[in-house]
Chains A and B, each alone.
Chain A
Amino acid sequence: MLPSETDMSKPNDLILGTLDLLLLKMLALQPLHGWAISLRLTAISGDVLQVSEGSLYPALHKLEQEGWIKAEWKQTENNRRAKFYSLTRLGRKQLETETANWKRLSSAISHVVALAEA
C-alpha cells in the first residue's frame, strides 16, 4: 500500500514538471473539468504517459494556487455541476515559458541521443 502511494503522487514515468505543462496546454485549448482532463490525458497519450487520477487533482490545485489557472463551477453537457478549470493570463505566460523550456530541453536531449548513435 505505502510504496504504491508514493508511485501515484510522483509519477516516475512522467518527466518531472511536464504534468504542469500538459495540463496548461490542455486548458489553453478549452476550459475542462477534472474528469474530462483525466479522460483526455488517457486518450491523447495512450499508455505512454500514465498519469494516475489521484495525482491529477493535487497538480490542478497547485496550478490554481499559483494563479495560472482559475476554477469555475458550471453545468456539464449532461447537466451535472462540475468544477471547470481555465487558463489565466498569468497561466498563458507560464505556458509559453514552459513550452520554450521544454523545446530547449528536448532538442538538447535529441541532439545528445543523435550524437550517441552516430
Chain B
Amino acid sequence: MRIEHWFYRFPLRLKSIFRRRRVEDELDEELRFHLEQKIEQGIAEGLSPEEARYQALRAMGGLDQKKEEIRDTRGIHWLTDFVDDVRYAFRSLRRAPGLTAVVVVTIALGIGMTTTPYSMLDALVFRPYPVPRPGEVVTLVSTTRDDGFDDFSYREYLDIREHTKSYDGLIANAPLGSVGFSAAAGETPRVRGGMLVSGNYFRVLGVEPTLGRGFREEEDQVPGRDAVTILGPDFWKRELGGDPSVVGRTIRLNGTDFTVIGVAPESFPGMLLFSRPDFYMPLAMARLFSSDPKKDFFVDRDDRQLSVKGRLKPGTSLAHAREEIALLARDFERAHPQLNRDRGATVRTRFQMRTRGDDPNWKFSVIFTVLAVAVLLVACTNAAGLLLSRARTRRREIAVRLAIGAGRFRLVRLLLTESLVLACLGGLLGIAVGYAGIKALQTFSIPSELPVIIPFRLDGRVLAAAIVMSVVSALFCGLAPALQATRGDLVAGLKSDDGDASASGRGRKRLWGRNALVVAQIAMSLMLLAVTFLMFRGFQHGLLEGTGFATDHRLLVRFDPRLIQYDAAGTQRFYEMLAERMRHTPGVESAALLQSPPFGLDDFDAVAFVPETFQLPRGREHFTAAADTVDEGFFDTMGIPILRGRGFRPSDTEDAPRVAVVNAQFAKHYWPDADAVGKRIRLDGPAGAPVEIVGVAANIKYRSTDETPADFLYLPMRQHPVPRMVLLLRSPVDPQELVCTVKDAVRSLDANMPMLETRTYADLYRYHTVEGPRVAVNLVGTMGAVGLLLAIAGLYGLVAYNVARRTREIGIRIAIGAQSSDVLRLVMGKSLVLVGVGAVIGFGLGLAVEQLMNSMLFNAGGVDFLVYLVVVPAMILVAMLAAYVPGRRACRIPPTLALRAE
C-alpha cells in the first residue's frame, strides 16, 4: 500500500520540482478554462460580459490564493522556498561583498584549522580496520601486574585458540622490522618490512587476495616447512611492477627461497597504521626471522611476540569474552607460575587499543582537535558578531517583511539560509585549507630504515566531518542574529534604522550578547596562546637541557648479518673486525658498536635483574630496567663521562667475569648511600648469573629531551651478543664524508653485507627533538595566532561599532558640556572591562589546560605568565585604539550634526 502510494506520488513530486514552469502553466490553463466556462454560462443567463466575469471571479474566491493553496498540496514548498532562499541569499550577500568575504574567510580559517587535526584524530582513533565488518574484530592482550599491555607467545596463542569459544576465528601476527629481501640469489639483500601471520589470518579477516590464494591451514603446522609468502599490494606494484604472473615465482627472504602464492588486495594495506607489510609469511617460518637467539619461538611460553586478534561471534558480548580469557589466564598462571606470575588477560576493542595511555600520538591529536575547535568557536563568534551587525542594518527591511505578513519562522529560515550559504562557502574554502595542512603533514619524513606511513588523509570520513562542522557553524553563527533580528518592536523597527537608540531593556540585552562574544573570543585566544607557549617551552626546555652526549660529527650505520645467513659466531667476528678496521681508518677519531642508539626508533631491551643486598618488595620477583648492548668504544665515542669505576674493555669477553655499567640514576636508585661500583646484580632473576657493576656512567637522555632520568644498564657486547648492531663513528669533519670509507671497509670484509641505515646522529636527533615538536608547535602556534587575530578583529569591530552607534548620545553629551576626554573615557572604559573579563577567564582556562597538558605530556611545569603579560596589554591597546578612533571622530562632530545623524 505505502509503496504503491509512492508509485503515484513520486513522479508528481519530481514533476513539480523539475517541471515547475509547466505545472504552473497547466494550473493556469485549468483555472482559466473554468473561468471561461463560468463566464459563458453567465452570459447565457443574460448577464453582461463584465458582470459575468465579475461573478465568475467572485465565485472562485481570489485566483491567486487558490493557486497558492494548490501549490501547497504539492508538498514541495519547503524545497522551492529553500531554493528561493538560497537564490535570495546569494543576491543579498553579493550586495555586501566585503562582509561576505570577511565572514567566509573567517569560517574557512576555522574549518581548515579543524580539518587538519581532525584528520589526525580520525586516523589515530576512529578509522575502522580495512576489513569487512571491522567492528567485530577485537584484540586480546596479556596484562602485567602494573597494568601494562603485552603480547602472547606462540604456545599461549595455541592454547587460547583451543580453549575459547567467543570468536569466529582467532588470528595471530608478529610484525617484522627488517626482512632481507633479494629478488634472486646472490643479490645483496635490501631491508623490507614483513609480517608473520597465522594460517587463518586472511580468512578470518575476510580479505581475499587479488591474485593467487590465501594461506592454507596446513601451511602453518610444521615449523620451517612451508616457505610461502603473500605480497603486500604496495610492494608488488613498486618492486615487481605489478607483474600479474608473480604467483609461483620465488623470492629470497633472509636467504631462504619463498614461493609467492598470492598478492593482498589494494583495499587491505594491513592492520597497522604506520607501516605496511611487504610480505606475509606463515608463523611456522618464525625461526628464520627470530631476533633473539636465546628464545625459541615455538617452545618458550614467555617469548611473547604475537598480537592476537579475533572476530567476536555475533551475539557474544565483550564482557563474556573478557571473562573467558581472564579465566584462561588464571589457568596459565596456575600451570606456569614462573612465567605467568601476576599475568592476566583481557579483550580490547579497536578504540581501546588506539587510545592506550602510553601512546602520546593520539593524545596530541585530541589536544590539537580540541584547540582547533576552540579556534573554530572564535571564528564562529566573530562571524556571528558580523552577522549581528548586519542584521541590525537590515532591521527596517525585516520589519517591513514582518509587517506585510511574513511569519517569524519563515524569516528566521531565510536568515539561517544566508548563514548556511556563508558557512558552505567558508567550508569549501576551509576544506582546501585543511587539505593543504594535511599535505604538509604528509611531507613530514621520519628517519627509519623502512618507510613510515603517515596515515593522515582527507578521506570521505574527514570530508563528512568538515561538512558537518560547516553546517553546525552556520547554525551557531546564524541562529542568534536571526532570532534577534526578527524579534521585537515592529513600529520602532519601521520608524528608525536603529532600534537600540531607545536604550530599551532589549537593547541592553542585545549588547550583553555581543559583549559575551568578545569576552569569549579573548578568553579562547589567550588560552590557545598559553598552550602554544607551553608546548614551545616544553620542547625548548628539553633542547636547552641537552642530551648528555654529543650528537655532532657522528655517523651511524646499521648492520644485520643474519640477513645474509651469518651465524652467531660469524656475526660477532664480523663486528669485531669491522670495529677494529674502523678504528685504524684515517679520519675516524673513534668507533663504537651499540644495539640501540639513544633517540633511535628502536626501543631498548628491558632487562630483568635482582640487585644483591637489596630487599625486594613483597611479591616482587625482580626489577626491570632499559638496557643497551655496547662495546668498549661506546662511552668514549658518545662522549658520556664515566663518573666512577671504568667503562668496558676488550678483555670483557665471554670467558671473563661478567660485568655491567649502570647510569648514575641506577646507582642512586639502588645504592643511595654507597658506591655502586663493586656491587653485584643477578640478571633475569634471583637464580640468574651474577654480574659485577664495574662503572657508573653519567645520566643521558635516551628517548626524549624532556624525560626524567631513568635507570639504565649497559652490557658488554662480547658477553651479550646481539645480531643487529649500529656502528657509530666520530669524525673531526663532516661525518657524511666517512660513508665511502665505511662502504669500502665493509666491502672488503664481505661484499654482500648490506648497510641498512646510514645517517648522521645529528639527523636522528633533529627528528626527535626539533622536527616533530616543530610540527606540533607550528600547528598550535598557527591556531593561537589565527585565534588571536580573529579575536582582535572581533574586538576592534565590536568596540568601534558600539562607539559609532552612540554618535547621537555623544553629540548630546558634548552639547550639554562634556569634554572630549570624558567621552573618550566613557567609551574606552567599557572596552577595558571587556578585555579585563576576557583576560581573567582566559587566564583561568589557560591555567586549567596547561595543568592538563603538563600531566598528560610534558613535565615543563609552571605557568606562562609571560603570555598574559604580552597578550593582555596588546589586547588592551587594540581595544583602546578601536574605541579611540571612532570616539575621536564622534567628539569632533558638531553636536548639531550629531543629533541629526540618524
Contact = CB atoms under 8 A, between A and B. Distances in A.
7 contacts: A54-B65, A57-B34, A58-B66, A61-B70, A66-B8, A83-B30, A88-B8
A5 B61 contact: yes
Given A35-B34, A53-B60, A82-B33, A5 B65 contact: yes
Interface string A57-71: 110011011111010
A81 interface: yes
Contact of B34 (A53, A66, A73): A53
Nearest to A34: B34
A99 interface: no
B4 A90 contact: yes
A103 to B, nearest CB: 22
A88 to B, nearest CB: 6
Nearest to B63: A54
Contacts of B292: none
Contacts of A81: 29, 33
Interface in A1-47: 4-5, 8-9, 33-35, 38
A57 B59 contact: no
B26 interface: yes
Contacts of A111: none
Given A38-B34, A57-B66, A83-B26, A65 B60 contact: no
Given A34-B34, A35-B34, A65 B73 contact: yes
B62 A67 contact: no
Contact of A54 (B30, B37, B59): B59
Contacts of B34: 34-35, 38, 53, 57
Contacts of A80: 33
B67 to A, nearest CB: 9
Contacts of A52: 59, 61
Contact of A35 (B4, B33, B73): B33
Interface of A: 4-5, 8-9, 33-35, 38, 52-55, 57-58, 61-62, 64-68, 70, 73, 80-83, 88-90
Contacts of B74: 61, 65
A83 B73 CA distance: 17
B874 interface: no
A8 B9 CA distance: 27
Given A8-B61, A67-B9, A90-B5, 14 more contacts: A9-B61, A35-B34, A53-B60, A53-B61, A54-B61, A54-B66, A57-B30, A65-B9, A65-B73, A67-B4, A67-B6, A67-B7, A83-B30, A88-B8
Interface in B69-96: 69-70, 73-75
A-B complex: 8 closest residue pairs judged by Cβ atoms:
A67-B8, A54-B61, A8-B61, A58-B69, A35-B37, A62-B73, A61-B73, A61-B70
B643 interface: no
Given A54-B61, A67-B9, A33 B38 contact: no
Interface string B31-71: 10110011000000000000000000001111001100110
Contacts, number: 77
Interface residues of B, number: 26
A65 B12 contact: yes
Contacts of A73: 26
A58 B73 contact: yes
Contacts of A8: 61
B722 to A, nearest CB: 80
Nearest to B26: A83
Contacts of A9: 61, 69
A90 B8 contact: yes
Contacts of B12: 64-65, 67
Contacts of A4: 61
A53 B70 contact: no
Contacts of A53: 34, 38, 59-61
Given A57-B31, A80-B33, A83-B26, A66 B61 contact: no
A73 B37 CA distance: 16
B75 A65 contact: yes
A118 B78 CA distance: 54
A34 B30 contact: yes
Nearest to B71: A61
Contact of A66 (B9, B30, B33, B65): B9
A32 to B, nearest CB: 12
B15 to A, nearest CB: 11
Nearest to A37: B34
Nearest to A53: B59
Contacts of A66: 5, 8-9
A33 B34 CA distance: 9
A48 B334 CA distance: 96
B491 to A, nearest CB: 23
Given A83-B26, A90-B5, A54 B70 contact: no
Contact of A58 (B5, B8, B70): B70
Contacts of B29: 81, 83
Interface string B157-181: 0000000000000000000000000
A8 B62 CA distance: 10
